Amino acid sequence: MKTILKIPGYLPLDRIDIWFQDEARFGQQNTTTKIWARKGSRPRVVRQQQFEYAYLFGSVCPSRGIGQAIVVPWTSKEAMSLHLRQISEATDIDRHAVVLMDGAGWHSDGIADEFKNVSIIKLPPYSPELNSIEQVWSWMRQHCLANRVFKNYEDIVDSVCEAWNTFTESSERVTKLCSRDWASVTS
């Protein structure tokens, strides 16, 4: 109820943007996927044993077909605040962003208080299926990051940024993969 009260009452529902937010870890302990090979052969895929990672704080607004992201070396309340600032700046002046997110420790109560155009709704625990950005992580791993070897942290950051940009370059892809009927705002 407190979240609903933060949304300005003077704004019509068609000026409310629903964003899905989450963070994911990408790095040297990477995803391996099936690959094409000649029948009868046994192809090999390299899997790294190092433990270098980067974290991507990402969010998508399916109705607008856009996304915002920040890549950081670790998760923290400060990184979450920087990411919410991105969402706030991407939200037009006459609109309001409602951000759906899980209950991670750095998603603390009051984290969006400094932003006049952003409100947060926390999803129920143990329900990643409600957060459509989970499909974005899967898409990035399958289409851009699987079966890769990363030299170092900078290579991970560059690859993750490239994968995010590849995903968000198509607003149709963002809308199609991340839209949920239950999360639409209608008057």
Q: Per-residue b/e over 41-67, b at no fewer than 16 CB within 10 Å?
A: eeeeeeeeeeebbbbbbbbbbbbbbbb
Please give the model's pTM, rounded to 2 decimal places: 0.85
List pLDDT tens digits, range 88-141. Answer: 999 999 999 999 999 887 877 788 889 999 999 888 888 889 999 999 999 999
2 vs 183 pLDDT, higher one: 183
Nearest one of 58, 56, 55 to 21, comparing CA atoms: 58
| CATH number assigned to the domain covering 12-28+49-181 | 3.30.420.10
List pLDDT tens digits, range 17-66. Answer: 999 999 999 985 555 556 666 788 776 666 545 567 899 999 999 999 99
Rg (alpha carbons) of the chain, rounded to whole number = 18
Q: What is the dihedral of CA 72, 174, 62, 90, to 10 degrees?
A: 50
